[in-house]
Structure 1
Amino acid sequence: MPSIVERFATLPPEVQALFDNTENGMPFNISKSGCLVLVKLGKEAWNAWREIFPVTGMFPHFTNHADFSGLDFRGDPVDFSGYVFGDGADFRGAQWGFGANFKGASWGRFANFSGAQWGDFANLNGAQWGDAGNFSCARWGAFAGFVAAQWGAGACFYGAEWGKGANFQGTNWATSRTIYLDDEHYQSAKAWAEARGLAPDTFLAISFAGAHFAGEADFSNRKFTGKTDFGCLPEGYSRRRVQRDEAGLAKFDGNCELLWENDPEPRRYVMFDAAPKFHGCELHQDTTFDGARFPPASGSDEAARAYRTLKLAFSKQQAHREEQRFFKLEMKEEAKRAGAAKFMYLLYEKSSDFGFNLWRPLALFAVAWIAFAFTYGYYGISTHDLTICGSLDASCKVQWSWLEFSLAQSLPLTGFDKLHSIATLKNNNVPVLVLALHKVISLACLFLAGLALRNLFRLK
């Protein structure tokens, strides 16, 4: 292997000159200030140094890794497209303004963006990360782009936030060619990904636990090949945010550890402010949305289709609970735009939670049984005495026979043998209508209870 001096001699002259200043460190052990100076020399200079003097050491003790922790690029933006950062890159608490460009950039393992912030229209299309990328509590503005972006296993977005629009769509390699700067960049990115089992349409194990998508989140055409979490933050982990000074710069303690404070919003669950899109996706069997919150129904056909897509995806996996979750969300969207049939959707929801609640229809059955018992008593209908009890006054006492007769009318195909006795009443029409109404309500309750049993236990 060439010596350090020999390798140093192959660096571009402007990079060699950078290390004349001892504050910038050494080419084999660059300092934080040296990283900032070098990155401003451009992609060619940075990548040349990175190739000749790679990161050494193991997590968490990397040497010669890129360190941009706490830096503010809002006033002096850098185009990071195509940069190669290597393992252990430290961007904790860093921030960028409008249109930050990381298109086609690549990081190795253990890249740390915890507490970082981006403005609107951040472009990370085609960007690549190795295993264990950390984006916990990071924040993006509106319309962040992650099209064809790739992460190794264990990418963590605990408590991360996105503004109005986050595009994680997957593509194939042929389609993603236009993302990269030139053919050499494209071939290099493809080779890097294939060596690690990555692809522009694939996610390995990834967690968005506790994240907030303030606009449309689009994960269409992605293959989720590892454990995927859109649920709640794990026990012992709370939402937090970076402490910043009046200028907005992140604060660090004497050990260069990022300082945090509790987030005023104690929410632990994932929150979608718009129906997420997963069209054309393949979900891993260990995919969860437990505890996730979705927006109130808007009656949008687009939202209904988004939920239907997730319902069908989980149906293929026999993931019944998740399938039920998205079926109910789909039904709520359909109810909003049902027009004249809206009342039927509302009744379906309230009486049985769209066929997934066993106890509501049984409770309604019991209430109808008692209520109609008193109604039959009012009309003098009983199994033993069909005399009229017109006003339920003191002389008209509650009889057990009312309950017997009401129960008989509640059960399917029973009680009809007593219909001939109705003719003895003064008004034939009212009791017949009452009996018919009771029978319809009871049958509907029993049907909904049976439907709930089938849906909850997947009975055939």
Structure 2
Amino acid sequence: MSVVPDHPDIEKLPPEIDGIPVRETIRQLFRDPANGTPDNISKEGCLALALKSNELGGAGKGYVVWNTWRRAFPVPHLSIVNHANFQESEFTEVMDFRLFEFGYAANFQKTIFRKEANFDHAKFGTSTDFGFSYWADGASFRWTQCEADIKFNNSYWCNHANFLGAQFVSANFHLSYFKNGACFIGAGWSDYVIFSSCFFNHLSCEAAEWHYLKTRFYDSILLFDELKNYANKIGSNPTVFEGLFFTGSQFEGGVDFSNRKFSKTSLFNQTENFNDILRNGIGIPLKDVMGNIQHVEHIGIPPVFFRVAPKFFGCELHQDTSFEGAEFPKPTGSEEAARIYRTLKLAFNKQQAIREEQRFFKLEMEEETLRETGLKRWLFKAYKKLSDYGFSITRPLNYGGLSVMALTAVYGLLSWLGQCGLTVRACQFAPQWLEFSLLQTLPLPGLDKLSEAASKVFWPAGAWWGLVLSALVILHKTISLAALFLVGLALRNLFKLK
């Protein structure tokens, strides 16, 4: 095997760090031509250097050799020369990338991790790409420092994905599949993160103040301060979400955004532009831990779906927040679900976002309906059936109109029975019952005399007939007044009339 001459800058490296022979390790590794050179490393060289760094550093210092090389031989500005390239690699053992500094445009595209992968405290440069990656076991990105345009699109996570406290500029998880849940507690970004058309078994995105994150931080306090300084530098915050896009995503388990401030556009709506989804809708075939082919497929264009009511307790929503077309779980009578929807209703009420406020008021009422018993439950059901909880104009008009038509037919039938069916000698079928019915439909003051005059013409005489007529008139006016009230209520609710 030919030997590559040593790069002159290797002599500038420290002989050892923490007892690890850094200089000699890097010298020997790049004497193999398959690994490239220190300033133009090959894909094989990246894999060999990462494994060697793990081997020599052991638990806790696996980054030492790698970072020494990376700092001495960075990626040239806006170039992919000498970038960390692991594309289409397959890691069959547990990988410890903790504290690794990958630099600009690190490439993990289509990489398979068969065992657990730990990237805690790692630093990723702009345009790092984990697209179409496959994670067969747990993956940890806690406390990572990520620059702009970090790609995780079309990734498949078989086990838990942990991004606790990670700080991004921007990232893209489009069409990713989180089979066993994901944690973004205390994660923040200064620009946006895209989760469009993703699948989540469970998602935790609660806010976390720095003092809380510090209690979860079991590593060096210097590392914590470094992470906090990085967040301040890029403008991210562990309690604030900047641009956030869950368009077309599916949530099969619990979702928690409690105490977050949404300071920019936040979309939980149905996909509007389907071109990208149609183009990337079927994932590449990847091997699972048993060696079987694992297909990541996204067929169809579903709306956002929540299997469990999403928690937004204590949140401050941005004005450009939308749940248009989102589907929520069937009501179960859950007290917690009612509180969840009430919270979202009040949040949108502050913004005067009428449609969104109405959406969550209805969901709250459906939960409250199932929590009531006896007569109260029936009243809630009638309220929904007849007026869609006070937001439908057509329902009270339709039900009221049908009731008026039915009562009009009853007036005519009883008039015929009274005048012809029971007393044939005095048979007189008068059409004034139509006029009488119309006068009861609009119960205005001053129409009683006209109603009385019309009733004398078509209604049979007698005490019992008078009692029946009085009962029908009371029912007719009650229905008319209720329909008019519900129509007025709907107009007020829909247009926020005072």
Q: TM-score, normalised by structure 1?
A: 0.86
Query: Could you say what secondary structure the match of 1:130 adopts?
Result: strand
**Counterpart of 2:282 in 1: which secondary structure?**
strand
Q: Does the 8 A contact of 1:8 with 1:27 survive in 2?
A: no
Question: For 1:397 and 1:138, how far apart are their aligned partners in 2?
Answer: 78
Within-5 A mapping of 1:46-57: 46-57=66-77
Whole-Å separation in 1 of the counterparts to 2:79 and 2:413? 81
Letter of the 1:306 partner, please give it.
I
Q: Is the 8 A contact 1:242 1:261 kept in 2?
A: yes
The 1:262/1:175 distance shift into structure 2, 3 A limit, reads closer
Q: Is 2:95 aligned against 1:69?
A: no
Higher deviation after alignment, 28-37 or 192-201: 28-37
Aligned: 1:243 with 2:284: yes
Matches within 5 A, 1:37-186: 37-40=48-51, 41=54, 42-58=62-78, 63-64=83-84, 65-74=105-114, 76-131=115-170, 133-163=171-201, 165-180=202-217, 181-186=219-224
Q: Does 1:407 align with 2:455?
A: no
Q: What stretches of structure 2 of length at least 5 have no aligned partner?
A: 1-6, 55-61, 85-104
Of 415, 421, 431, the residue aligned with 1:380 is: 415
AA aligned to 1:372 is L
User: Do the aligned partners of 1:32 and 1:67 also contact (CA within 8 Å) in 2?
Assistant: no
Aligned residue identity for 1:71: T
Secondary structure (helix, strand or coil) at the match of 1:360 reads helix
How far the C-alpha of 1:355 sits from its partner, in A, is: 1.2
CA contact (8 A) 1:203 1:222 kept: yes
Shift of 1:458: 0.9
- Give runs of aligned pairs for residues 211-290 of structure 1, distance below 5 A: 211-235=249-273, 236-238=275-277, 240-245=281-286, 247=288, 263-264=298-299, 266-290=300-324
Counterpart in the other structure of 1:357: 392
Contact 1:98 1:120 in 2 (8 A): yes
Provide the C-alpha distance between the structure 2 equivalents of 1:285 and 1:315, rounded to a whole number of angstroms.
11
The Cα RMSD (Å) is 3.3
- How far 1:389 moved relative to its partner? 6.0
Which among 474, 477, 485 is matched to residue 439 of structure 1? 477
Q: Verify the 8 A CA contact 1:91 1:113 in the aligned structure 2.
A: yes
What is aligned with 1:187? Answer: 225
Q: By how many angstroms is 1:399 displaced?
A: 6.4
Structure 2 CA distance for aligned equivalents of residues 423 and 8 of structure 1: 116
Q: Which residue identity lines up with residue 9 of structure 2 in the other structure?
A: V
Q: Per-residue CA shift, 1:47-82, capped at 9, x if unaligned?
A: 4544454444449999553221112212x3232111
Instruction: Report if aligned partners of 2:403, 2:479 keep a CA contact under 8 Å in 1.
Output: yes
**What is the rounded CA distance, in whole Å, between the counterparts of 1:399 and 1:455 in structure 2?**
43
**Aligned-partner Cα distance in 2 for 1:60–1:336:** 60
Retained in 2: the 8 A contact 1:19–1:25?
A: yes
How far apart are the structure 2 equivalents of 1:15 and 1:166? 41
Higher alpha-carbon deviation: 100-109 or 28-37 = 28-37
Which amino acid in the other structure matches residue 117 of structure 2? V
Amino acid across the alignment from 1:73: F
Task: Please list the CA deviations of residues 240-271 of structure 1 after superposition, one character each: whole Å capped at 9, or x if unmatched.
Answer: 13121555899xxxxxxxxx98633x133111
Shift of 1:439: 1.7
Please identify which structure carries the higher strand content: 2
| 2:271 and 2:301 in contact (8 A); partners too | no
- Paired with 1:219 and 1:439, the residues of 2 have a C-alpha distance of 49
Contact kept, 8 Å, 1:379 with 1:390, in 2: the verdict is no
After the TM superposition, which of the residue ranges 51-60 and 205-214 deviates more from structure 2?
51-60
Q: Distance in 2 between matches of 1:43 and 1:403?
A: 91
Query: Aligned residue for 1:303?
Result: 337
| Separation of aligned partners in 2, 1:135 and 1:16 | 38
Percent identity (aligned): 38
Residues 125, 179 of structure 1: 8 Å contact kept: no
Query: Contact (CA 8 Å) 2:163, 2:182: kept in 1 or not?
Result: yes
- Counterpart Cα distance in 1 of 2:79 and 2:10: 28
Check 1:57–1:216 CA distance in 2 against 1; reply closer, same or farther (3 A cut): same
Aligned to 2:327: 293
The 1-side partners of 2:177 and 2:307 are apart by 16
SS at match of 1:137: coil
1:330 to partner: Cα distance? 0.8
Q: Return the alpha-carbon distance in structure 2 between the equivalents of residues 60 and 445 of structure 1.
A: 70
**Structure 1 position 335, deviation (Å):** 1.1
Relative CO higher for 1 or 2, CA cutoff 8 Å, sep ≥ 6? Answer: 1
SS in 2 for 1:152: strand
Task: Mark the CA change 1:19 to 1:214 in structure 2 (over 3 Å): closer, same or farther.
Answer: farther
Deviates more, 1:27-36 or 1:354-363: 27-36
**Residue 339 of structure 2 is aligned to residue 339 of structure 1:** no
Which stretch of structure 1 is more off in the superposition, 24-33 or 95-104? 24-33
Write the deviation string for residues 147-172 of structure 1: whole angstroms up to 9, x where unpaired. 00113323111211111x21000111
> Are positions 1:330 and 2:364 aligned together?
yes
| TM-score of the two chains, using structure 2 as the length reference | 0.79
Following superposition, the deviation at residue 380 of structure 1 comes to 2.3
Inter-partner Cα distance in structure 1 for 2:290 and 2:147: 26
Residues 441 and 408 of structure 1, relative CA distance in 2, 3 Å threshold: same
Closer, same or farther in 2 for the Cα pair 1:366/1:412, shift >3 Å? same
